[in-house]
Amino acid sequence: MTSASMPAGRRGVERDDLAPAPVERSERRSRSASTAQVRALVLGGYGLNCDAETAHVCRLAGADAQRVHINELIDGKQRLESFHILALIGGFAWADDHGAGVVLATKLRRHLGEALLRFIAAGRYVIGICNGFQALVNLGILPGFEVGRFRREVALTYNDCGNFRDQWVQLRVERTPCVFDPRARQIELPVRHAEGKFVAPPDVLTRLREQRQIVMRYARPTGEAAGGEFPWNPNGAQDDIAGICDPTGRIFGLMPHPEAYNHETNHPDWTRLRWQEDRQSAQEPPGVTLFRQAVSSAQERLLE
Amino acid sequence: MPARLEIALRPELFDAEGASIARKARDYFGYEIDEIRTVRVITMDARLSAGERQRLRADLFTNPVTEESSYQPLDLPADWVIWVGLLPGVKDAAGETAAEAIEDLLGRPLASGEACYTSKLYFVREGGSGLSGAEEERRLTRNDLARVARELLANDLIQRWQVWRVVPSATAREAESEAGIWDPSEGIGYVIPRVTLEHTPRVTEIPVGSDAEMLRVSAERDLFLDPRDVPAIRRYFSRRRVREARRRVGLDRPTDVELEYIAQARSDHCNHNTFRGRFDYVDRASGERLEIDSLFHTFIEEPTLEIARRKPWVISVLWDNAGVGRFDERHFYTITGETHNSPSNMEAYGGSITGIVGVYRDPLGTGKGSKLVLGTYGYCVGPRDYAGALRPRLHPRRLLDGVIEGVRDGGNKSGIPTPFGLVFQDESYLGKCLVYVTAVGIMPSEVAGGRSDRKRTSPGELVVMCGGRVGKDGIHGVTASSHIYSERIPAGHVQIGDPYTQKKMHDFLLVARDRGLIRFITDCGGGGLSSAVGESARFAGGVEVELDRIPLKYDGLDQWEIWISESQERMVVSVAPEQIQAFLALAAEHAVEATVIGRYTDSGYVHLTYEGQTCAYVSLDFFQSDFPQWRFAAEWVPPAARGLAEPVLSEPRDHAACLLAMLARPNIASKEWIARQYDHEVQGGSVVKPLAGARRDVPSDAAVVRPVLESTRGLAITQTLHPTYSRIDAYHMTAVTIDEAVRRLIAVGADPEHIGGVDNFCWPEITYHPERNPDGKLKAAQLVRSCLAMKRSCLAMGIPLLSGKDSMYIDGALAGAFGEQHRVSGLPTLQFTAISVVTDVTRCVTLDPKVAGHLLYILGVTRDELGGSEYYEMLGETGLHVPQADPRQLLPMYRALAAASEEGHVASAHAIGRGGLGVHLALLAMAGDLGLEVELWRAPCAAPPASRATATEAAGLREDRLLYAESAGRLLVTVPTERSSAFEARLTGHPLAALGVVCRDPRLVVRGRRGAPLLDLPISALRDAWQQRYGELI
């Protein structure tokens, strides 16, 4: 760890080539056009646990969010195709006893595999956060090199630090087609996991880089990649990878928790920033922006 | 033929778990180990085809990117192999999820009796292995590996282990004569820890001809019946009307089911006999006498009801599983605190995970059920580096590791944030550790058209048991915990909580609640069904339970075992018959087992049957009947009369070295490694985190969360304990503990008009015995004094005790160096939890100074109060002048500070606690990563009330005393210069002084009266000292 102290401003640096997030537009839509509202499914049950805050952040982002138990989908009480965004959330599905996200992935593949493939083929969006990311890679939906097939090519395994760890990380946001876009080059989010170390064979890593599928990397406060160094890279992930998308950018998985940065007071430094910054400049938390961008995009591509 | 799948990380991947064990083996025992590779083992005791096995291996249990696996033994390079597996009957949660996953993947259920079992293999490569000649002498022995197994990997109460030596070739192997040589073709063999009880359940009648006979039965059956209760129990069963009523249901003499039930209900754990007892208190110095009829009624119930009358936010107290307060117009919060000391002392991980998962059932079982929104912890253990002669069952280092991990898994896997905690080390806890766990929930104030806090059972409603199944685990938990620890205590009650099963049940029950399907709900905790069903039956006026309908983990349990087993993760719900189908269907959708086990009645009896035969028939009135009240003699000898005195110490010459040494003390040093293992962000409402400041590493005064995400209202929660003050006087220990809890809440911006308390007493045994407990009367007097102080503080500050718990036997019998036994009694310890509502979380305040140039103030008076302080302890002293707190004087000051904070004058605020001003200035400097220039002599000071110091001495308190006195009622506050006059105006009339200034130069400079710096230290030096002790731990 360097001795340099952390800089103060870390609410998210605006990306200079992008306009500010179209906040007003989505809010208007979420209020008015109920018939044409983007619908988000937040999948819960079996020890998953971030359902309430993920649904909350989807609503803040303008979506009509619904918490659905896995068995409601399996039993046909709810249908995947009536939603535009599927959120696989954080938690400990089946207690993570046999590898994080492993049993969840097996369950989804066996009972909902066809429906998931159709959902993806229809151009709908999927986000997997933490346990949900682990499930996506174990399902083989990510990295998604082969369209229409499940294939496990990468893994999220035990942190090098040897323990569950809760800390906020700096994330460098790369230029990718990912629709879940925080509209900033660098953001901060919390990680909370024991198995978040991204591992892939060299050829897979190369392909991920070449196809611009690496969406977020763990970084130092200064913005450069963490270079594997703890605690900036909290788990030993290869190439500091914190999140990847599929080649289309519609499927996104990440270890950090955007839904846990849904309010300015979530940030670890918010009481400091209040005294150090002009309070007028308060921005939307990047956890919300990331979802808002996906909802806007879904609105355009899937509803209009 | 069972199948055994072994799964390892690919060799090129770093094995963090193995590395951590190797590091501990080196640090703790000095063993040089190059590498340990861990292998997960799943033994499938099920009929599976070869094709099915391969599918399970490839599609389920092996990650193709990171793992390799085989049904043949994996033969990894090693010098030694260790295997650790669970004993039969111990909860194997991973085995259960493996079976669940297999059933799902294969699309068929496993047959009855088929199951999966998980265990672990460790392949150990020694340091310098492969070298020959003189290096040979450095090799580890089988005993060394056994020590690694016994002291790092396994606990023989719940696990078994085996060690093999690896010999290079088959020929060399044959030449070996010793047992335990690794055979790579055999591996570990097939170990199936299946429970098979060759036992037909049977109800036994108990002869109770005389008190002596009954006591003999009690001893034989580990009932721990109190001899004072025996005549009352016998009287009941010999009453003519009772005998006639029993005859009508086919019973004669009491059955084992009934006596076990009674023993549970009468245990101190369930019935709080000590707190409901009669105390004859005498102050040996003044001659003052007090007669107290029930500590509970006098010191807890009375003041709480009085305060509840004037605080409309108090919704429900003193009867339900947790207390209920109002959060906002549409929500209530629920809170309770528990301890899980005895089980954690024997099996740290299992005990603490069972404790935290267990306490989470309390808010879930409060009112019609609340959602869990946070948990907190408090651990009191022996010194982590203890090297003395006493032999606790688990070394404190291992015990603390296990307790931390148990609460970690219990909280994280439940999806409940753990944003606050305490750890305290003292040799007195070698006898028994303390594990405090506190839980907070939230519920809508109305559910299905009725008040959520109200519930009752009614005749005709169905008794439904939800969640886990019943096994032999946890039998006699409550009776054993109502006793001191010794090797004789049966280990059958060691359990391992299962957050996964409970999380499913939690989610299901909240949906059921919102659909109006729950009439009454309570948890199965201590005493199991006997307690949950027995207590819920009081509302309806009776209950009938068919014990044979209760789902079991395995056959062969006796009826009494089914009734009192404390198998975890269970709730009892009352459901109207017309809603039972909807309730059970919803349970099935959530993959939760729910079973109708009986029906509430108005018969006046708890009536249990098994296959149609009555096996228990106990009147509900029985437990209200004429049991004798426990009596305690309490004799207070004031500390001076006990020979305590102030030490004769001069001022240290090297103040800088002294402060650095204080910062490195175990009870001061950074424990970031613990807080970071706990998810404190889940549920998305984190506002004030456990660690704050520029580097996010200094503990916060309190945690604040937004439990309702749509709202900016928050809940603030904090905890305190000061057991070392009990060495002098538990009265002041209590007053200061409560004061500090309130102060911490005020510091973060809580509302002083809304503070609820949870009292968790952990006390050594107070019954006097000339040989076994010669100071029992003093311990009893300490308890009375503690309760007196608590009542005074609560009344003065308007704190209702929303919940609480007493754990009365924190003693242990430990072997010493020569085979002698020592009785070790824990310090009388009160953990006080305070909770408050924050009306607008965007006004919350953290402890870190924010900006250079802000003024640093101290609020409150520093007195010559170093008795029981960290400073005296470091210098090997106890002292006499224990810190005191006068809540009537302090509350107005806290109100003024809260108002100043509300108006936005306060940039940071921090309660000064253990370690005094010196330590807390250092914490502040580290938190802000900004320098502090401090004029120490400006701090308001005074002599302690009890001291004979003259006025001049008081005015000029010696500088080391100013730095390290632990006087209550003090805070450090930073304020922007432009707001200082408004701030000062708000605090007019209260002891306040501008102590210094926040500055850019990152140094802590403290000037004394003579103007020269007493100490001048860079913040990096402070941080190094504070982090060095535990900085390597993750």
Give tens-digit pLDDT for B34-58: 999 999 999 999 999 999 999 999 9
Question: Nearest-CA residue of chain A relative to B56?
Answer: A106
Pairing assessment for the beta strands B462-467 and B520-523 based on DSSP bridges: unpaired
Q: Which residues contact A281 (CB under 8 A, 6 or more apart)?
A: none
The CA radius of gyration of chain A, in Å to the nearest whole number, is: 18
Chain-chain contact of A71 with B9 (C-beta, under 8 angstroms): no
Question: Nearest-CA residue of chain B relative to A3?
Answer: B1020
Q: How far apart are CA A287 and CA A269, in angstroms?
A: 16
Instruction: Supply the pLDDT for residue A134.
Output: 97
Q: Give B557→chain A minimum CA distance, Å.
A: 28
Q: Which value does ipTM take for this structure?
A: 0.94
Q: Give B23→chain A minimum CA distance, Å.
A: 11
Could you give phi then psi for residue B23, rounded to 5 degrees?
-65, -40
Identity of the amino acid at B308: A
The two counts, helices (H) then strands (E), for chain A are 8, 12
pLDDT, tens digit, 9 for 90 and up, residues B647-699? 999 999 999 999 999 999 999 999 999 999 999 999 999 999 999 999 999 99
List of chain A residues whose C-beta atoms are within 8 Å of the C-beta of residue B370: none
List of chain A residues whose C-beta atoms are within 8 Å of the C-beta of residue B680: 166
> Could you tell me the CA-to-CA distances from B240 to B235, B247, B287, B516, B823 in Å, in that order?
10, 10, 48, 44, 46
Chain Cα centroid distance, residue B387? 25
Name beta bridge partners: B333.
Answer: B325, B442
Instruction: Supply the pLDDT for residue B493.
Output: 54
Structure tokens at B366: 């409060």
Mutation site, A67, A68, A145, A163, interface B, largest B CB count within 10 A: A163
B227 lies within 8 A of chain A by CB = no
pLDDT, tens digit, 9 for 90 and up, residues A58-96? 999 999 999 999 999 999 999 999 999 999 999 999 999
Q: How far apart are CA B482 and CA B97, in angstroms?
A: 34
Chain-chain contact of B17 with A75 (C-beta, under 8 angstroms): no
3-state DSSP assignment of residue B756: strand
Helix (H) or strand (E) holding B173: helix B170-175
B367 touches B316 (CB < 8 A):
yes
Q: Is the pLDDT of residue A28 over 70?
A: no
Q: Give A104→chain B minimum CA distance, Å.
A: 9
Report, as residue numbers or ranges, the catalytic residues of A.
Answer: 130, 257, 259
Chain-chain contact of A98 with B97 (C-beta, under 8 angstroms): yes
Name beta bridge partners: B124.
Answer: B36, B80
Could you say which of A6, A200, A257 has the minimum Cβ distance to residue B695? A6
Q: How far apart are the first and last CA of chain A?
A: 49
> Could you tell me the CA-to-CA distances from B551 to B465, B469, B561 in Å, in that order?
9, 6, 13
Q: How far apart are CA B473 and CA B496, in angstroms?
A: 9
Chain-chain contact of A106 with B60 (C-beta, under 8 angstroms): yes
Instruction: Provide the greatest CA pair distance for chain B.
Output: 90
B717 touches B446 (CB < 8 A):
no
Pairing assessment for the beta strands B698-699 and B755-762 based on DSSP bridges: unpaired
List of chain B residues whose C-beta atoms are within 8 Å of the C-beta of residue A164: 408, 412, 677, 679
Name beta bridge partners: B546.
Answer: B609
Instruction: For chain B, give the mean pLDDT.
Output: 93
Could you say which of B408, B844, B929 has the minimum Cβ distance to residue A271? B844
Q: How far apart are CA B18 and CA B9, in angstroms?
A: 11
Angle at B591 between CA B69 and CA A101, to 5 degrees: 35
User: Minimal CA–CA distance to B37: which of B62, B25, B20?
Assistant: B20
The CA radius of gyration of chain B, in Å to the nearest whole number, is: 30
Q: How far apart are CA B581 and CA A84, in angstroms?
A: 34
Band of pLDDT at residue A281, cut at 50, 70 and 90: low
Could you give phi then psi for residue B455, rounded to 5 degrees?
-160, 155
Q: How far apart are CA A1 and CA B254, in angstroms?
A: 69
Chain-chain contact of B500 with A264 (C-beta, under 8 angstroms): no
pLDDT averaged per 10 residues in sequence order, chain B, 1034 residues = 95 95 93 95 96 95 95 94 92 94 94 94 83 54 95 91 89 76 91 86 89 89 85 91 94 93 86 92 96 96 96 96 97 97 93 96 98 98 97 95 97 98 98 98 96 97 96 72 50 78 98 98 92 96 97 92 93 98 98 98 97 96 84 97 96 97 98 97 98 97 98 98 98 98 98 97 96 97 98 98 94 96 97 98 97 97 97 98 96 98 97 98 98 96 60 68 98 97 97 97 94 94 97 88
Instruction: Supply the pLDDT for residue B484.
Output: 55
Q: How far apart are CA B125 and CA B7, in angstroms?
A: 18
Q: Give A243→chain B minimum CA distance, Å.
A: 17
Instruction: Provide the greatest CA pair distance for chain A.
Output: 56
Chain-chain contact of A166 with B680 (C-beta, under 8 angstroms): yes
